[in-house]
Each structure stands twice: as C-alpha cells, then as structure tokens.
Homo-oligomer: A and B are copies of this chain.
Amino acid sequence: MAGIRKATIRDVAARAGVALGTVSRVLNEHPSVTPQARRSVQDAIAALGYQRDAVAGSLRNARTRMVACAIRDFDIPAFASYVKAAEEVFRRAGYTLLLASTSNEKDVELALLRGFAQRRVEGVMMTMSDEADAELAAAIAGAPMPIVLIDRELLQNVDRVMADHQAGAGLAVGHLISLGHARIGMIVGDPAAYPSRSRIAGYRHAHARRGIAVDEALIRDHALSNEIAFRETCALLAAADRPTALFVAAVDMLPGTLRAIRSSGLEVGRDIAIVAGSDSDLAELGVPPVSALSWDRAEMGRHAAEMLLERIRDPQPRAPRCVRLPVSLIVRGASAATGG
C-alpha cells in the first residue's frame, strides 16, 4: 500500500526511452507496438514497480472486477446469509462484492443503479421496493450491466432467483388450521413486493381450501421493522376476538412479535401458537422453540452469483432465467397450542 502511486506513466516512458503514447499502447495491448518497445516498457514497469491506476485503466478496458448487491437494510440477518454465500462465489472468480442498502426506497434504488453504472460495476444483485413501478422497471431493463433480481418475479426480462413463498405460507397456515385454529393473525411485509404478496396469497389459499372465511382484520401488512411488528401484534392481541395463532410471515420480525406477546402477559405455546415466516436462532433456541419456514438462503445467494457471472462472461442476449427454491416447514413446540 505504502508508495503504491509513486511511479507514474511518465517515469516509465523516461526509463524505457519511449514516448508516453507508446507506454499507453503497451498497457492497452495495442497491436501497433514493436516487440522491442514492448520489452523496454515492460522492463521499465518491472524495475519501477509501476502500478497502473485502476480508474484510468478501467476507462479503456471497462473491467473493474466489482459487483454490487443492493439490499433493503444492512441489519436483517436473513439477508446476510445469502450475501455471504454469493460473496464466496464472486471471490473465487476474482470479483469483489460491495454491498449497499436501499432503505426500500425507489429513489435510492435509482441512484444506486446510476452510480453502479457510472463506476462500471460489472453486475448487480438487487431487490426492488415496488415491482409495479415503471421507472424502476425501465432502469433495471435498461441498465448497462447484467442484473439478477432477488425474490422478485414481475420483471420477466431479467434473471430472477426467488423462494416459493406462496407454498411456504400454505404449509404454515395449513399446519395451524390442522391444529384447530380458525383465527390466524398474519404479520406480513409490503404487498408491493413478491415475498409478501405471495405469502398473503398462500394464506388465503390455505383458508379457501378448508372452507374457512378470511377475516381481513387479521392480515397486518407493511411490517418492515420490529417496531411495526410489535405494534401490529399488540393490536391483534388487544382485540375482543383475538387470534389463537400468529403467522409472523415477514422476515426477521419474530423479535417484535415475541416482545408484544410478552408485554400482553400471554405465554407462547400455551396461550397462543406461532409460526415464523423465516427461521432464526431466536426461533430455534426459544423456549418453547418456534416453528418456522425455511429455505436454503445460501443456495439462493450462490445461484444468483453464478447467474450473474455467466452474464458477465457472456453478454450475448439470451432468454432470462428464473430459479424458484422450495420452502419447507420446521415444526417445533410453539405451534402446539391448539385452537379454540
């Protein structure tokens, strides 16, 4: 690091006894250089320990070996696990993965996409705050680098990797109904995005299959923080005909719901059943442990990274691909409270 920009291209030219333009042509592997000149420039580079400036270099060869991943929020552990798996794939391929957060805001997503393009990031893994937004869709479709969408489905002109959240929600709700619950509260995220939209569809479908009418007041969406999950759970528990079970479908919102249950004086597993929409240490190690939906997040990250690397290596237009991972239910003690 120390001294990395000591020798300049001028020093190289002087030592090699050639013009600046010759050094530049050697660096850019231009064919119109004599073998002799190439040799003296290469010797001068080695002798001086000259390191080409990556920003200048990237102007011509457009290879920054950087890829980026834009996630909603840095502090959601569930996202970290797929990012980590993706990073391993990228690192083995010689790419540095940079992570940025969007706060789930369209303007930040657009600004990041612009910034990545201008800085010649070679590929991007991302979500979208609103899948139906035309401006976002145009920005993604028109981006100069390949993009893989994570857990989004509506944009069908780009590669996508997602989990089958509808089937997962069906498993969770079906499990609770089979235990005798008919009033199942649902804490879920923003239906403008695929995961929540499909979880709500799965919830409805599981009710319809068993001939149970859905009470719309039991579906609490836009739970994008633990504070909101806490508030919505409190509201559900305070109702006269409170639910006997909760499906905490939003990712990593179990802490907010458990805080609300504790502050309501209820006991998980005895007074109320819970299924978490995503597995976590808290679900596994809780007393009683909490049943949870699970999918292979590392596999999701690896798939996304490999699809992106393929597009980077072979930028020929080819049909967009879509990988949908299965979701399974881990049954644990906390869903065992039976319905009224």
Residues of A within 8 A of B (CB): 1-5, 51, 53-56, 58-59, 64, 66, 68, 73-77, 80-81, 83-84, 87, 96-101, 110-115, 117-120, 138-144, 254-255, 258-259, 262, 281-282, 284-287
Question: In the bound complex, how far is the Cα of B251 from the Cα of A116, in angstroms?
Answer: 33
Closest to A254 in B: B281
Question: In the bound complex, how far is the Cα of B113 from the Cα of A2, in angstroms?
Answer: 10
Q: A142-B1, A285-B258 are in contact. Are A96 and B100 (CB under 8 A)?
A: yes
Closest to A79 in B: B74
Q: A64-B119, A98-B99, A115-B54 are in contact. Are A144 and B5 (CB under 8 A)?
A: yes
Q: Smallest CB–CB gap between A72 and chain B, Å?
A: 11
Shortest beta-carbon contacts, A-B, top 8: A2-B142, A1-B139, A54-B118, A75-B80, A287-B287, A99-B99, A255-B281, A98-B98
Asked whether, in the complex, the Cβ of B81 is within 8 Å of the Cβ of A141, the reply is no
| Copies of the protein in its oligomer | 2
Contacts of A55 on B, CB cut-off 8 Å? 55, 58-59, 118-120
Q: A73-B84, A77-B75 are in contact. Are A97 and B100 (CB under 8 A)?
A: yes
Contacts of A112 on B, CB cut-off 8 Å? 96
> Of B1, B87, B117, which one neighbours A140 at CB under 8 angstroms?
B1
Asked whether, in the complex, the Cβ of B113 is within 8 Å of the Cβ of A1, the reply is yes
Asked whether, in the complex, the Cβ of A2 is within 8 Å of the Cβ of B74, the reply is no
14 A–B contact pairs at CB < 8 A? A1-B117, A1-B139, A3-B142, A4-B114, A5-B117, A53-B118, A55-B58, A56-B59, A64-B119, A73-B84, A74-B83, A77-B77, A96-B115, A119-B119
Asked whether, in the complex, the Cβ of A138 is within 8 Å of the Cβ of B98, the reply is no
Q: Smallest CB–CB gap between A261 and chain B, Å?
A: 10
Question: In the bound complex, how far is the Cα of B85 from the Cα of A73, in angstroms?
Answer: 11
Closest to A75 in B: B80
Asked whether, in the complex, the Cβ of A54 is within 8 Å of the Cβ of B255, the reply is no
Contacts of A118 on B, CB cut-off 8 Å? 4, 51, 53-55
Question: In the bound complex, how far is the Cα of B4 from the Cα of A74, in angstroms?
Answer: 28
Closest to A68 in B: B98
Question: In the bound complex, how far is the Cα of B110 from the Cα of A287, in angstroms?
Answer: 44
Q: Smallest CB–CB gap between A103 and chain B, Å?
A: 9
Question: In the bound complex, how far is the Cα of B255 from the Cα of A114, in angstroms?
Answer: 40
Asked whether, in the complex, the Cβ of A84 is within 8 Å of the Cβ of B77, the reply is no
Contacts of A285 on B, CB cut-off 8 Å? 255, 258-259, 262, 282, 286
Q: Smallest CB–CB gap between A204 and chain B, Å?
A: 30
Question: In the bound complex, how far is the Cα of B77 from the Cα of A4, in angstroms?
Answer: 34
Contacts of A139 on B, CB cut-off 8 Å? 1-2
Given contacts A54-B115, A87-B101, 19 further A-B contacts (CB under 8 A): A1-B110, A1-B143, A4-B118, A4-B142, A4-B144, A5-B144, A51-B118, A55-B58, A66-B115, A66-B119, A68-B98, A74-B80, A74-B87, A74-B99, A75-B77, A96-B112, A258-B285, A262-B285, A282-B285
Contacts of A76 on B, CB cut-off 8 Å? 80
Q: A66-B119, A74-B87, A119-B55 are in contact. Are A114 and B1 (CB under 8 A)?
A: yes
Contacts of A66 on B, CB cut-off 8 Å? 115, 119
